[in-house]
Structures are given as C-alpha cells and as structure tokens.
Amino acid sequence: MAEYATRLEESIRAARQKKDLLLMTHIVLGYPDFDSSARVVEDMVEAGVDLMELQIPFSEPMADGPVILKANAEALKSGATVERSFEMAEWLTQRFDIPFLFMTYYNILFCQGIDKFVSRCQSIGIQGCIVPDLPPAEGQDYLDAMRAARLAPVHIFTPNSTPQRMQFLDQNSEGFIYSVARKGVTGKETSFTDDLADYLSTCRENTSLPLAVGFGVKSREDIEFLTGKADIAVIGSETIRVLETEGVEGVRPFIDALVA
Amino acid sequence: MRNSGYYSQFGGAFIPEILVSTFDELESAYLEARDDPSFWQEYVELMSTYSCRATPITRLDNLSDELGGANIYVKREDLNHTGAHKANNVMGQGLLTRRMGKKRVIAETGAGQHGVATATMAAKFGFDCTIYMGAHDVARQRPNVFWMEQMGATVVAVSDGSQTLKDAINEAFRDWVTNMDDTHYVLGTACGPHPFPEMVSWFQSIIGTEAREQMLERTGVLPKRVYACVGGGSNAMGLFSGFFDDDAVELIGVEAGGRGKGSGQHAARLAYDDATIGVAQGYKTFFLQNMDGQMQDTHSVSAGLDYVGVSPILSHLHETKRVRFEAATDEEVVAAMQRTVRREGLIPALESSHAFAQAFREAPEMSNEDNILINMSGRADKDIFTVADAVHDPKWREFIIDKAAAYRREMSNG
C-alpha cells in the first residue's frame, strides 16, 4: 500500500460510515446502446448504488461468462468505440456524484497508450481501473501511471490466491480489493457458505483496503450474507441479465429489491 | 516478480488472477520435465511406437524436374498418427498431464487436427476430454468432429465472436478458470501465455532435429531454404528450431494470404502490414486488430491458419529478420496442392500447401545444386469437402447429393 489514500478509498470509507455494505454494479458501455447505458446508470444511482464499474467493451473478454461476453459483442456490433466510451464516462462522472471505475482488458489500454489512457481517466473523473488480464508482474507501466495520477489500480483476490500472493496484490493495489467468490468466469452460480466466509476472512487478513466481493452475487440473501464480511457487494452479470430479459425498466425494481 | 517468457518485446503471461497458481504449477512441471532426460526419452519412445517417428523426408522428384532450379524435399509430418504434426505437441503434453496427476484435458481446435490429436491422446491415456471448436469450423470440418466424438471427446461448438479458432481459445480458457484443479489445457500452438509458446515449440522441435540430420545424411549439406506454413506457428517453430544455429539456412514462414493483400480477408499478420502489436489471449504479439484493439475477422481457405495472432517467438524472429515471412493466397494454395497430388501422389493439407506454394514460386530461381525443404505439416483427408468444392469436382457433388437422398429416404422410412 502506498502512503497516500486515493480519492476512491476515501469515498468508500466515508460511505461506509453511513452504510454497512456498499453496492457496486457493473455495466457494459454501449450495451444495448449508449442511451440505454445512460438511463441504466441514472436508475441505479437513484436506487442507491454506491459505486459503478463501467466496462469498455473488448472483442476477447477472456474472463467473462456468457452474459457479459454477449453484452460486449453486442455493444461492439452496435458501434461502441473506446472514444465513445470515454465520452460517455465523462458525461456520467459529471452528472452523478458516485465513484466510477473502468473495467476493461489490457489491450484497450495498450492500444491507446498506457499513459494516455490513464491521464484521460484522470481528466474525466474516473477513479480507478480493473484490468483482469493484467497481473502486476506484467503491468509495471500501468501501475506507475496510475500511482502518478493518484488513481486506484484494483486487483483481484481469488480462492486460489495464497496469503503471500494476496499480500503481493495488496501492495500493488489502491482503492479496494476485488475478491471473487469462486473460481470460473462471471455470471455463474456461487454458493454462499461457511467456506466462503473462511475465504473472506483470509482476504480480510491480507489487506487493509476495503474489500469488495463479486461473482454470483444476485439476491437479497447474498447481500445479507456479505454484510459484516465485506465492504462492497458487486452485482455484475445479474444486472446485465435483468437488462437483457426485462429491459431498462427492469433495472430499478431489481436494485430496489436488493437494497430494501 | 515473475516476468519471464519474453522474446524481445513479445510474449509474456497476461492471465486472469485465478490462473496464476495453475501457470506456476505448469511452468514448474514443464521445467522439471525439461531437466529430466528420461522424460524426453519417454517422449521419443512414445512417438516412435505410437506415432510414426522419425517421419521421413521425401524428395519431390517430378516437381523438382518440372520446376527446375532447387531440389525439393518434404518433411513428412503427415505420416504422424492422426495425420499432422499436432500429435507431437499433444503426446508431449499428455505425458506432462499425467506427471501433474490431472485427469481431464481440454483443447481448442481450428482445423480440427489438434482436436483429433488431443482426443486421441485422451483416449490412449484415459483422460476425460472436451474440445472447443468455433461453430464455423465445426461446420467446415465435420470429418474431424466425427472422429473426436468417436474417441469419446465432447465437442463444444463455440458460437461467440467470429466462431473460429480465437473464440475456441477464449472458451477453453473459460473452462480452465473453473476446472483447473483436475484439468490441463492442451494449447495447440506456440501461442498463448508463457510457458505455452516455449513448451509447444520444445515438443515440436523433434521435427527440426530429425530433419536436419536427415538432410545431412541424404544430401550431405544443409538445405538452402526451409519453408513452413504459419497459423499459430507450431509446425514452423518445430522445423525452424532445427536450423536456428545454421545462419546460412534461410527460414521462410508462409501465412494465409486469403483473398490477397489489401483485401482485408486474410490471416497474414507478419507478411502483410495490416497487423499491429497488441495483447490478447494471454500474450503480446502482432494481431489483426483495429485502432481500438478489437480483433478483426480473418479469412483463409484453411481453417488451421485462420487466426488473428501469431507465436510471439515468430514475431520476435520477424523483427530480428531471422525468419522471412511471405503469404500465399487461397487460389495459389489450392493450385499448389492439386499440383502436388497430381505429380507426386502426396496430399498436403491446405495449411501445409501454403508452404508448398511459396517453395514452388522460389525453387525455379535457385540453382540445381541447392536443396530446399518444405514442412508437410499435415495431410488433406480432412479437407476433402473444401478441396472438392475448390476444384469444382462434379462427381463429388453428385455423390453428396445421392448420399443425402439416401439418408433422407432412410429417415422418412423411420
């Protein structure tokens, strides 16, 4: 951990003073189109979502399951570009007073140029990035640029991570740690059991950053399970599934039911 | 910090966190096997009793005369069990899988050769096996799908993205991030995250080691030029690695020119100038991608060369100019194949025919004192449908129509 706290970490800590468990949601920019993305974000913020991951679509989303994979492909098919994603993100950060992060794959940063990508994030008010195919060993340029811009590089803990690995990831992270509740890709079933509780307490022991938990979180019961064990619950694929099956109108009732 | 597996700026291991320990385990197992001479002995023994190693080299007597110029020799990887060089890598990784105590293998496949080879290995070693194959490739390579299923493999048609090799690779990774505890991913080419490019090249190096000795024994000199087709690059890496230390031997990699330069419908990452450096599928190399880094659709008459990326080791050898890259178009490839079948009675796969096409182009300019060597990476039995269409064979068409009618009658008679 660095000797400074990022704006992201500070706002998470401030929000946690008022709430036991924060809610982070995930959308794919440009899915099903940019207007809908904007409306979904608006509904989510009004429903009380505390922070959001904005995924810049990529043609090869290796770590994502079928739901997000399809959303990436459809966003690209309907003309999503990195430039439009940046414009959209800027519009969102100006309009809504919650922290926004980018989630995307490394090639998107690499093709923009890492310094350029990071300084653009900084200038449009993006507070952190999650890049699931960029382990710290491959990402020194990215980590340096993020630190210099005082943005948060968020890394992932998994049930396969040893305590040593967790500490190493922690040293390279800011903002929060994203802990995946199970093996596999996004959007599959997770069982919320004692094993998960044990794993989360191992995560907790190996970072002092706020802890977010994602992969398979989708119900009020899941949220209750996580309260007291983590700082942030991440709803990823399930929001996109709701969007896919019920349209933009379905998102608000879904979030309302989770936080009620 | 672990940051190995680079060939100048290419390669690396851009893997999701969940696979970090799996790659650590794989790398250790691979390095231990490399350090253990009995492993390579066991591998060579297996390949000489189960496959057909050492595969011979054949001189193309008729075509050498007809084309004039260099004497043309062919390394016969088509004589491997399952009909392609893919067997080398797969049997090697099979031994490694057993060493790691895993019980299930998964693989991607484009043309289906790697899928068939993996299914074969799984049948022999008693592993469960799932093969991921782009839906587009499933449609054009039914004979290979048939054999995989006969051998007990589950073949999953991947209908995401362009429905070809890269999408099958993504899907295999998605399986692996869930099932890494008991499953080994038998990546089929010299691509992907470290240690795959190096490890696959190591298993395939058996081609080049044999070929160098055989050429010396047969002709008394090293070949002047060595040709191999390049999809992911494993057969090329295999053959070339026998000659890396021989500066006088020119190495030529032949990519899929598809419908030609400037058509936007090809898979030539290094020979044409459409590709740029990027990171996808876990490694850094030249990719056919747009300005944003989104992968583009590729095209080739041969399913096995139809891939957006290329071995990071070959990207490196392209930059250092140790390997010269050329492309052959679909049309040239089919012509080269027909010519080889007709004049020599050899049936090179459409993939391998790319190397033949380039060699036939260059041989006449060379002296008849010179020898050249082509890697016949596989045979074309699997391509029979594609080739029959490409050569517009009316009798084949009639046969299929009759066969379909017979099936239809059978089905309607219950």
A60/B280 touch (CB, cutoff 8 Å), yes or no: yes
B162 vs A35, residue with greater confidence: A35
% chain A with pLDDT above 90? 79
Q: What mean pLDDT comes out for the span B61-84?
A: 97
Q: Is A164 on the interface with B (CB under 8 A)?
A: no
Q: What is the pLDDT of residues A88-112, one digit of tens each?
A: 999 999 999 999 999 999 999 999 9
Average pLDDT for chain B:
95
B403 has catalytic annotation: no
Q: What mean pLDDT comes out for the span A55-66?
A: 92
> What is the crossing angle of helices B142-150 and B113-125, to 10°?
10
**Is residue A3 pLDDT above 60, yes or no?**
no
| CA–CA separation, B367 and B223 (whole Å) | 12
Q: Is B3 on the interface with A (CB under 8 A)?
A: yes
Token pair for B228: 């191999």
Radius of gyration for the alpha carbons in chain B, expressed in angstroms and rounded? 20
How far does A136 lie from chain B, in Å, by closest CA? 9
Token pair for A215: 């992969």
Asked whether the beta carbons of B85 and B377 are under 8 A apart, the reply is yes
Annotated catalytic residue: which of B27, B64, B102, B108? Answer: B108
Three-class SS of residue B148? helix
**Is residue B391 pLDDT above 90, yes or no?**
no
pLDDT at position B131: 98
Annotated catalytic residue: which of A9, A50, A64, A231? Answer: A64
The band of A2, judged by pLDDT with boundaries at 50, 70 and 90, is low
C-alpha angle A53-A55-A58 in degrees, rounded to nearest 5:
160
pLDDT at position B296: 94
Domains, chain A, ranges and CATH?
Answer: 7-153+231-259 (3.20.20.70)
- Which range is least confidently modeled, A10-14, A63-67, B204-208, B219-223? A63-67
Annotated catalytic residue: which of A43, A53, A222, A238? Answer: A53
Amino acid identity of residue B316, one-letter, is H
Indicate the DSSP class of residue B1.
Answer: -
Q: Is B194 on the interface with A (CB under 8 A)?
A: no
pLDDT at position B60: 98
Chosen for mutation from A29, A56, A60 (greatest number of chain B CBs closer than 10 Å) is A60
Which among A203, A105, A213, A207 is positioned nearest to A160, based on CA atoms?
Answer: A203
| CA–CA separation, A37 and B158 (whole Å) | 28
Q: What mean pLDDT comes out for the span B126-135?
A: 96
Three-class SS of residue B341? helix
Q: Is A65 on the interface with B (CB under 8 A)?
A: yes
Neighbouring-strand partners of residue A259: none
A64 has catalytic annotation: yes
Domains, chain B, ranges and CATH?
Answer: 2-48+85-196 (3.40.50.1100), 53-83+204-389 (3.40.50.1100)
% chain B with pLDDT above 90? 88
Asked whether the beta carbons of B90 and B121 are under 8 A apart, the reply is yes
Q: Is A162 on the interface with B (CB under 8 A)?
A: yes
A60/B295 touch (CB, cutoff 8 Å), yes or no: yes
Indicate the DSSP class of residue A57.
Answer: P
pLDDT at position A65: 86
Q: Is A248 on the interface with B (CB under 8 A)?
A: no
**Is residue A1 pLDDT above 50, yes or no?**
no
Q: Is B177 on the interface with A (CB under 8 A)?
A: yes
Q: What is the pLDDT of residues A118-130, one digit of tens each?
A: 999 999 999 999 9
Given the DSSP bridges, would you call strands A51-55 and B128-134 parallel, antiparallel or unpaired?
unpaired
Which among B386, B403, B380 is positioned nearest to B139, based on CA atoms?
Answer: B386
A237 by Cβ neighbours in 10 Å (0-12 / 13-18 / 19+) ranks as buried
Token pair for A156: 């992932």
Neighbouring-strand partners of residue B326: B254
Contacts of B22 in chain A (CB under 8 A): 160
Give CA separation, A173 vs A153, A167, B13, B257, in Å: 5, 10, 19, 44
Contacts of A106 in chain B (CB under 8 A): 14, 279
Q: Is B320 on the interface with A (CB under 8 A)?
A: no
C-alpha angle B297-B298-B302 in degrees, rounded to nearest 5:
145
Residues in A 18-47 with any Cβ partner in B closer than 8 A: none
Facing B16 at nearest CB: one of A59, A63, A108: A63
Q: Is B173 on the interface with A (CB under 8 A)?
A: yes
pLDDT at position B251: 98
B292/A111 touch (CB, cutoff 8 Å), yes or no: yes
- Which range is least confidently modeled, A4-13, B26-35, B355-364? A4-13
The band of B42, judged by pLDDT with boundaries at 50, 70 and 90, is very high
Q: Which residue has the tokens 């693989």?
A: B107
B160 vs B269, residue with greater confidence: B269
The band of A4, judged by pLDDT with boundaries at 50, 70 and 90, is low
The band of B3, judged by pLDDT with boundaries at 50, 70 and 90, is very low
A111/B276 touch (CB, cutoff 8 Å), yes or no: yes
Amino acid identity of residue B68, one-letter, is G
Neighbouring-strand partners of residue B11: B6, B284
Q: Which residue has the tokens 């998107």?
A: A108
B293/A108 touch (CB, cutoff 8 Å), yes or no: yes
| CA–CA separation, A217 and A188 (whole Å) | 9
**Is residue B163 pLDDT above 90, yes or no?**
no
Q: What mean pLDDT comes out for the span B287-311?
A: 94
| CA–CA separation, A111 and A9 (whole Å) | 28
B305 vs B141, residue with greater confidence: B305
Three-class SS of residue B227? strand
- Which range is least confidently modeled, A184-188, A202-206, B118-122, B159-163? A184-188
How far does A46 lie from chain B, in Å, by closest CA? 32
How far does B384 lie from chain A, in Å, by closest CA? 31
Q: What is the pLDDT of residues A115-158, one digit of tens each?
A: 999 999 999 999 999 999 999 999 999 999 999 999 999 999 99
How far does A17 lie from chain B, in Å, by closest CA? 31
Q: Is B278 on the interface with A (CB under 8 A)?
A: yes
Token pair for B317: 């050898």
Q: What mean pLDDT comes out for the span B206-230?
A: 98
**Residue A91 CB neighbour total at 10 angstroms:** 14
Q: What is the pLDDT of residues B83-108, one digit of tens each?
A: 999 999 999 999 999 999 999 999 99
Give CA separation, B30 vs A109, A162, B414, in Å: 32, 22, 53
- By C-alpha distance, the chain A residue nearest B278 is A107
Three-class SS of residue B3? coil
| CA–CA separation, B65 and B61 (whole Å) | 6
Helix then strand then coil, in percent of chain B rounded to 5, is: 50, 20, 30
Contacts of B412 (CB under 8 A, 6+ apart): none
The answer, yes or no, to whether ipTM is higher than 0.90 is yes
Q: Which residue has the tokens 């030249």?
A: B286
How far does B342 lie from chain A, in Å, by closest CA? 42
| CA–CA separation, B40 and B30 (whole Å) | 11
The band of B381, judged by pLDDT with boundaries at 50, 70 and 90, is confident
Which among B58, B49, B43, B129 is positioned nearest to B91, based on CA atoms?
Answer: B43
Q: Is A133 on the interface with B (CB under 8 A)?
A: yes
Asked whether the beta carbons of B330 and B360 are under 8 A apart, the reply is no
Contacts of B251 (CB under 8 A, 6+ apart): B225, B226, B228, B236, B240, B243, B317, B322, B323, B324
Annotated catalytic residue: which of B86, B166, B224, B382? Answer: B86
